[in-house]
Amino acid sequence: MKKKVLAGLLAAAMTAAMLMGCGGGDDSKTSGSGNTEQTPSNDEQDAAGGDDQAQEPSGDTPTIAFVPKVMGQAWWDYVEKNVKEWSEENGIDVIYKGPTSVDAADQVKIMTDLVNQGVDILCFSPNDPASCEAICKEARDKGIIVIATEASGMENVDYDVEAFDETGLGGFLMDQLAAQMGEEGQYITMVGSMTMESQNNWADAAVARQEEAYPNMELVPDKRVADDSDAEKAYNLTKEMIQKYPDLKGILGTGSFDAPGAARAIQELGLTGKVFAISVAMPLEVKDYLQDGTLGSVALWDPGLSAKAMLNLGVKMHNGEEIASGADLGVEGYNAVEIQGTVVVGQGQIAVTMENVDNFGF
């Protein structure tokens, strides 16, 4: 349960920069309709544009819809590109349609239209999970496979695909930082706020990873600082910490404002290559720092891969395959997913570096 909340918060935090959604409502009021009826139903109408080039060896070609939070934003443009790619590779058409602004009501309307059109698989990323529950229930009652992402806590979905869990990301951040620091030296952790549960859990996981794998690294006595999700404050904090701990070598941030702020301080102080920082961040925001070497990498997940994994999962279910922990969704980072209730957790965290920073467009 906790993880669901965390993943929800994580999703909100990471995409806040672009999406500014209405935030994730956690638990919905509707209960019942358990997830026992996992068998896909393919008795529905075979509507809209069939494809004769079907490469799937077994079963009919499903009709798939993918509903993003919003159309026309860099993040979702990138997802659309990947969905198209998948569509071509697999020879299955995907209807990619979402609201023109980040609007929960518009999104539900679009989903309702699609459900009434009679799709077989509905993939989506909700602007407001709570307001999507009703239509998702209706869809599942009709036998539509419903797969969400960034929607933990939703009741009426078959699966919610999440790129990673807190241990995965925390450990990943630490591994990346340790590599840059040469696995030795002092470091400190930074969060958006001491009350943000997800970010603090990532930081805890990162510290746990260090204690287990990097004995030559040392957490300074201040342990953790909070920058109020403000790059300017992160910048000032970094300067103060370097002042206080002249031997400080690493800053392990979690929030998306941590690394950009810290990098600016490192660059200004002339400590590039001596002090290292990392956090979850949007690629374009840290591009300059990646290119001039102030930052080695930042962490993110690839929303394109995540979308492909969702689509593959849907098709697998459509084909009646059993989904269990260890299942391979055929996408890097999702080769052996873990199933936690209705949440599918991958190892989809990626390092954004100088090499791939331009691949995303956001």
Partner 1 sequence: MNKAKIKRITGRTEFWIFLVLIIMCIAIQAVSGGQLFESNTVVTILRAMVVDGMFAMICLVVMVSGGFDLSFPAVAALAYSLSTTICVSMGWCNTNPIAGFLIAIVVGAVLGMFNGWIISNFKLNTMIITLGTQTFFVGITMGLLELKEITSTLPVGFRTFGESYLFEVQNSQGLRSTMTTMFIPFVLLCIVTSFVLNKTMFGRALYAIGGNEVSAERAGYNVKRVKFILYTVVGASAGFIGMIRVCMARQSIPKAMVGKEMTIIPAVILGGASIFGGEGSVFGTICAVAIITVVSNSMLLLGIDTYWQNFFNGLVILVGVTVSAIQAMRRRK
Report the nearest approach of partner 1 to the CB of residue 205 (Å). 21
User: In 6-36, which positions are buried (b, 16+ CB within 10 angstroms) versus exposed (e)?
Assistant: bbbbbbbbbbbebbebbebbeebeeeeeeee
Which tokens in the block code for residue 49? Answer: 């544009």
Q: Does residue 298 touch partner 1 according to CB under 8 A?
A: no
Contacts to partner 1 from residues 252-281, by CB under 8 A = 257, 260, 264, 268-271
Q: Which is nearer to partner 1, 144 or 207 (CB)?
A: 207
Closest CA to 10 of 173, 157, 138, 186: 173
Q: Which residues pair with 298 in a beta bridge?
A: 352
Binder among 47, 54, 194, 336 for partner 1 (CB under 8 A): 194
Gap between the Cα atoms of 21 and 141, Å rounded:
27
Residue of 60, 88, 89, 222 that binds partner 1 (CB under 8 A): 222
Q: Does residue 134 belong to the site contacting partner 1 (CB under 8 A)?
A: no
Instruction: Name every residue whose Cβ is closer than 8 Å to that of residue 191 and which is 6 or more positions away in sequence.
Output: 199, 200, 203, 224, 225, 226, 227, 253, 254, 255, 258
Examine residue 237 and tell whether it contacts partner 1 (CB under 8 A).
yes
Closest contact distance (angstroms) between CB of 243 and partner 1 is 6
The residue range among 6-14, 116-124, 209-217, 234-242 that interacts with partner 1, by the rule CB under 8 A, is 234-242
Q: How far is the CB of 207 from partner 1 (least distance, A)?
A: 18
Binder among 38, 167, 180, 236 for partner 1 (CB under 8 A): 236
* Amino acid at residue number 164: F
The answer to whether 50 and 274 have CB atoms below 8 angstroms apart is: no
Residue choice 16, 134, 208, 354 for contact with partner 1 (CB under 8 A): 16
225 binds partner 1 (CB under 8 A): yes
Please pick, from the candidates 92, 145, 203, 226, the single residue that binds partner 1 as defined by CB under 8 A.
Answer: 226
Where are the alpha helices (H) located in the chain, listed in sequence order? 2-19, 74-90, 104-117, 129-141, 166-181, 197-213, 231-244, 258-269, 283-291, 303-318
Nearer to partner 1, 114 or 352 (CB): 352
* Coil/strand/helix, residue 8: helix
Q: Is 208 in the site for partner 1 (CB under 8 A)?
A: no
Cα–Cα dist 210/171, whole Å: 8
Site residue total, partner 1 (CB under 8 A): 36
CB 228 within 8 A of CB 234: no
Binding range to partner 1, per CB under 8 A, among 151-159, 223-231, 302-310, 327-335: 223-231
- Compute the distance between CA of residue 278 and CA of residue 297 in angstroms, rounded to an integer: 7
Our finding on whether 77 is near partner 1 (CB under 8 A) is no
Q: Does 221 bind partner 1 (CB under 8 A)?
A: yes
Residues that bind partner 1 (CB under 8 A): 16-18, 20, 101-102, 194, 221-222, 225-226, 230-232, 236-237, 239-244, 246, 257, 260, 264, 268-271, 282-285, 287, 362
